[in-house]
Amino acid sequence: MPELPERTATWLRRIQNDLFDLGADLAVPESDTRERLRLLPEQVGWLEQRCDEVNAELEPLRSFVLSGGTPAAAWLHVCRTVCRRAERRVVALGADASPETLRYLNRLSDLLFILARDANGGEEPLWVPGQNR
């Protein structure tokens, strides 16, 4: 993995742990009444706070962002894409998945997008409509 800012690397280590919690949550259907490890709203709130923190440092978007840029940003876009795929699969589980797992994946994909923008240092590749016509 390319070099990441220290705060991003630290956050990703926390997210890796949260994803194991998410896996444990998904392993037991929501309808199961036994006490099990579940994702907590605080874990989703932490992601939302990180999104707000990094977004405050970025210029507002004026166009769609293309995946790519720096190697770190490109990898973060890959992670975001995998996260969105996981989110779609959790949606397909319906009532068997806890609502918090879906919220977590949704906010995580947003954070990964924002971190990719940050990793590009404001020089992200933007979509140019009709460029190849």
3-state secondary structure of 13: helix
Residue 18: CB atoms within 10 Å: 18
pLDDT at position 133 is 67
Q: What is the pTM of this model?
A: 0.90
Angle between helices 6-27 and 71-93 (to 10 degrees): 20
The three-state secondary structure class of 126 is strand
Rounded Cα distance, 43 and 30, in Å: 18
For residue 5, what pLDDT is reported? 83
Average pLDDT over residues 95-123: 93
Rounded to whole angstroms, the Cα distance separating 116 from 122 reads 10
In tens, the pLDDT along 15-32 reads: 999 999 999 999 887 777
Kindly report the number of other CB atoms within 10 A of residue 84's CB atom.
16
pLDDT of residue 1: 56
Tell me the sheet residues that pair with 111. Answer: none
Residue 108 above 70 pLDDT? yes
Structural contact between residues 119 and 70, judged by C-beta atoms closer than 8 angstroms:
yes
